[in-house]
């Protein structure tokens, strides 16, 4: 056995832990791939040895089962230059760690752990994701080291092609690794819902929790058990996650998702077991150290560039204080400077989400806690503006507010070690898997989907595209309201091998790539500040559906105008055109003009008339129906 291990280890494609890519995060475009749903590159791992075959759906249609997507599927797309052609520069992948594979009870019924958020072993990679041979034909052993090596090779390949990798991490909960033994028989009674979920107890927990032991679901005691050596590197884990006392064991609160009274912090997340992150608990310091040791390993040894942090608002704030501080210290200032940590705070209120970018001792301590957050307020506002049945549109006022908030007091203005503040690193999106339906659901057209992507790509912050949106992946079952998980479709289906070529040939792909290219061509679109310029006014039908804003630096400005209406619209009120000002300073220099650099659809007829009054440049921009236009200007 040992000999076999040594031989296969030598055959690995050994790549030294990679230095993180040096470019600033606000010049990146994130592509979020739910690994199980991107592409099945290796059918051999679809039913890992010993797992229940019923958990896998070979048709790739049942949203609750494994679809077979894996690292090889991502590697093939990277190697084929798919992401480079699109222009995205960072891959956010769902948690790669070994999961519990099945839960009989979850939101909406039985489900599998295809998405990766149900950790069983924080220092192992899930067998569904890995192959037994590398892209170059070298062997990967069927061991923790072999699986981790495949992950490391994926990251190295991404780096080689200029892509950063963002690992999705969870500190709030683990999978259903234990059950509540309600009948005291010392065994899991699978069909007894109460053994999976107990009603929430605000005070005290349940004393009847027992570790699971169901191999075909990989339901077992949490790992790691103590110090581990992985890929030849010692990881000084302490085994705190192996103690039942580390978990709250308080059961599940039915309406915890919408709560903000503390209940959402301490309850189980459905059948997922809540880790007790209370700074007052005796294991607190060991718990923080455990997660620091684990994620330091992924940053330094595997080479991942950034961390997307799950379920942030379900964890005590003091935990994030300690975790971010100790992790930055552990990796050192140079590495910390290149590290992005952004959190999922599922809340449309910027004051709730933004809180996590501040330290609790603010303003005594001004340095950032989390670097930034996923911008749910932007997402909800963009949907309010652009996502309506029958190609209607809503008011852009909420969008204007979201953009103003991003520059307001809700987010920590202090520059991080990289010289950028939270606003500049806000992760903007209009869709993802966070309990939201895909933007393109039901009758939302490909054109509207592209308008939404343009909004994401041209706004200040880090744009994040959800896999498949570049080819207008359509969720015909998704609702416009009342979100579900139907949008987690498989993108490159195994039964449609031509799909990747079709995706690249699609009109959506071309326009999305064009907007990403604009970010390279016009520095104001990455480094520039943002100011809203015009919002559809109720006083006149002339400007219906218009939303306009500018991105600007000292020397140049980019003016972006959207028209969501089905009729031609013009920026400004009759006799009062839109002013091109950022505070007291004009966005357009004397004698300069607005230069149209891009429009979508390409056959659009955006025109502009510039007037000047009292030193203030003004623009009447005429916009084709349902279009966006981008202008550049010398200040
Ligand atoms: Ca597979
Ligand atoms: Ca029992
Ligand atoms: Ca919690």
Instruction: Report the alpha-carbon distance of residue 207 to residue 184 in Å, rounded.
Output: 11
Assess contact for 88 and 30: CB atoms under 8 A: yes
Q: Quote the pLDDT of residue 340.
A: 98
**pLDDT tens per residue across span 264-314:** 999 998 889 999 999 999 999 999 999 999 999 999 999 999 999 999 999
Is residue 483's pLDDT more than 90? no
Tokens of 396: 């852009």
Average pLDDT over residues 15-42: 85
Structural domain boundaries in the chain: 2-172+285-521, 527-634
Tokens of 388: 């309506």
- Phi, psi for residue 501 in degrees, rounded to 5: -65, -40
Residue with tokens 């959207």: 562
Is omega for the bond preceding 601 within 30 degrees of 0, making it cis? yes
Q: With pLDDT > 70 as the criterion, what percentage of the chain qualifies?
A: 97
Q: Quote the pLDDT of residue 552.
A: 97
Domain 2-172+285-521 matching CATH 3.90.1300.10: the answer reads: no
Average pLDDT, the chain: 93
**pLDDT tens per residue across span 432-464:** 998 789 999 999 999 999 999 999 999 999 999
Is residue 633's pLDDT more than 60? yes
Average pLDDT over residues 146-156: 98
- Identical fold, 2-172+285-521 and 527-634: no
Q: Which ligand is nearest to the CA of 209?
A: 2
Q: Which ligand is nearest to the CA of 179?
A: 2
Is residue 32's pLDDT more than 90? yes
CATH class of the structural domain 527-634: mainly beta
Beta-carbon contacts of residue 413 (< 8 Å; ≥ 6 apart)? 421, 422, 423
| Distance from chain centroid for Cα 459 | 17
Q: Quote the pLDDT of residue 16.
A: 43
**At 480, is the pLDDT very low, low, confident or very high (cuts 50, 70, 90)?**
confident
Is residue 2's pLDDT more than 70? no
Instruction: Report the alpha-carbon distance of residue 338 to residue 344 in Å, rounded.
Output: 20
181 CA distance to ligand 2 centroid (A)?
A: 4
Closest CA to 295 of 242, 209, 236, 211: 236
Name the burial class of residue 515, with classes exposed (0-12), middle (13-18) and buried (19+) by CB atoms within 10 angstroms of its CB: buried
**pLDDT tens per residue across span 521-574:** 999 999 999 999 999 999 899 999 999 999 999 999 999 999 999 999 999 998
Average pLDDT over residues 487-506: 95
**At 19, is the pLDDT very low, low, confident or very high (cuts 50, 70, 90)?**
low
Label the pairing between strands 340-343 and 306-309.
parallel
Instruction: Report the alpha-carbon distance of residue 236 to residue 221 in Å, rounded.
Output: 19
Q: Which ligand is nearest to the CA of 212?
A: 2
pTM, rounded to two decimals: 0.95
75 CA distance to ligand 1 centroid (A)?
A: 12
Lowest-confidence range among 28-42, 188-202, 455-469? 188-202
Neighbouring CB atoms inside 10 A of 370's CB total: 26
**At 605, is the pLDDT very low, low, confident or very high (cuts 50, 70, 90)?**
confident
176 CA distance to ligand 2 centroid (A)?
A: 14
Assess contact for 240 and 281: CB atoms under 8 A: no
Q: Which ligand is nearest to the CA of 132?
A: 1
48 CA distance to ligand 1 centroid (A)?
A: 10
Lowest-confidence range among 361-365, 404-408, 600-604, 611-615? 404-408
211 CA distance to ligand 2 centroid (A)?
A: 11
**pLDDT tens per residue across span 574-604:** 889 999 999 999 999 998 999 999 999 988 8
Q: Quote the pLDDT of residue 1.
A: 33
Is residue 259's pLDDT more than 80? no
């Amino acid at each position: 056995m040992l000999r076999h291990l040594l031989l296969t280890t030598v055959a690995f494609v050994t790549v030294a832990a990679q230095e993180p890519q040096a470019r600033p995060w606000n010049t990146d475009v994130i592509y979020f791939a739910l690994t199980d749903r991107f592409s099945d590159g290796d059918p051999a791992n679809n039913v890992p040895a010993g797992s229940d075959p019923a958990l896998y759906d070979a048709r790739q249609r049942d949203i609750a089962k494994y679809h077979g997507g894996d690292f090889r599927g991502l590697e093939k797309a990277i190697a084929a230059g798919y992401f480079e052609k699109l222009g995205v520069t960072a891959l956010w992948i769902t948690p790669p760690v070994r999961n519990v594979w099945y839960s009989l009870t979850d939101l909406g019924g039985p489900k599998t752990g295809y998405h990766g958020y149900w950790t069983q072993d924080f220092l192992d990679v899930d067998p569904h994701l890995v192959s037994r041979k590398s892209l170059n034909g070298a062997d990967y052993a069927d061991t923790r080291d072999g699986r981790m090596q495949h992950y490391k090779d994926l990251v190295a390949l991404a780096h080689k092609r200029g892509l950063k990798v963002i690992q999705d991490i969870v500190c709030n909960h683990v999978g259903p690794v234990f059950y509540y033994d309600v009948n005291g028989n010392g065994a899991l009674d699978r069909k007894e819902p109460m053994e999976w979920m107990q009603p929430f107890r605000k005070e005290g927990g349940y004393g009847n929790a027992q570790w699971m032991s169901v191999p075909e679901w990989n339901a077992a005691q949490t790992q790691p058990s103590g110090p581990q050596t992985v890929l030849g590197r010692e990881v000084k884990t302490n085994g705190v996650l192996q103690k039942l006392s580390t978990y709250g064991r308080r059961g599940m609160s039915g309406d915890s998702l919408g709560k903000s009274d503390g209940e959402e912090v301490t309850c189980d997340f459905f059948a997922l077991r809540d880790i007790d992150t209370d700074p007052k608990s005796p294991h607190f310091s060991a718990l923080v150290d455990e997660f620091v040791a684990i994620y330091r390993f992924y940053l330094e040894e595997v080479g991942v560039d950034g961390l997307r942090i799950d379920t942030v608002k379900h964890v005590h704030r003091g935990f994030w204080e300690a975790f971010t501080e100790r992790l930055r210290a552990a990796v050192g200032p140079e590495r910390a400077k290149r590290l992005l940590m952004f959190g999922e705070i599922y809340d449309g209120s910027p004051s709730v989400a933004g809180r996590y970018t501040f330290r609790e001792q603010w303003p005594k301590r001004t340095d950032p806690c989390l670097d930034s957050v996923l911008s749910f307020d932007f997402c909800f506002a963009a949907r309010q503006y652009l996502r309506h049945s029958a190609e209607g549109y809503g008011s852009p006022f909420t969008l204007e507010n979201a953009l103003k908030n991003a520059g307001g007091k809700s987010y920590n203005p202090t520059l991080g070690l990289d010289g950028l503040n939270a606003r500049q690193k806000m992760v903007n999106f209009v869709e993802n898997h966070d309990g939201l339906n895909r933007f393109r659901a039901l009758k939302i057209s490909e054109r509207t989907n592209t308008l939404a992507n343009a909004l994401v790509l041209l706004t200040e912050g880090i744009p994040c595209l959800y896999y498949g949106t570049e080819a207008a992946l359509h969720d015909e079952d998704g609702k416009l309201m009342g979100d579900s998980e139907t949008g987690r479709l498989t993108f490159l289906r195994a039964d449609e091998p031509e799909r990747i070529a079709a995706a690249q040939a699609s009109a959506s792909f071309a326009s999305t790539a064009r907007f990403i290219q604009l970010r390279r061509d016009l520095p104001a679109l990455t480094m520039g500040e943002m100011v809203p310029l015009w919002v559809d006014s109720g006083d006149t039908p002339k400007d219906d559906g218009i939303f306009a804003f500018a991105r600007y630096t000292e020397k140049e400005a980019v003016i972006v105008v959207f028209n969501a209406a089905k009729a031609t619209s013009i920026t400004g009120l009759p006799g009062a055109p839109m002013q091109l000002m950022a505070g007291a300073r004009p966005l357009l220099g004397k004698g300069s003009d607005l230069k149209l650099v891009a429009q979508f659809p390409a056959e659009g007829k955006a025109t502009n008339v510039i007037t000047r009054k009292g030193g203030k440049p003004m623009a009447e921009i005429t916009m084709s129906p349902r279009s966006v236009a981008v202008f550049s200007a010398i200040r």
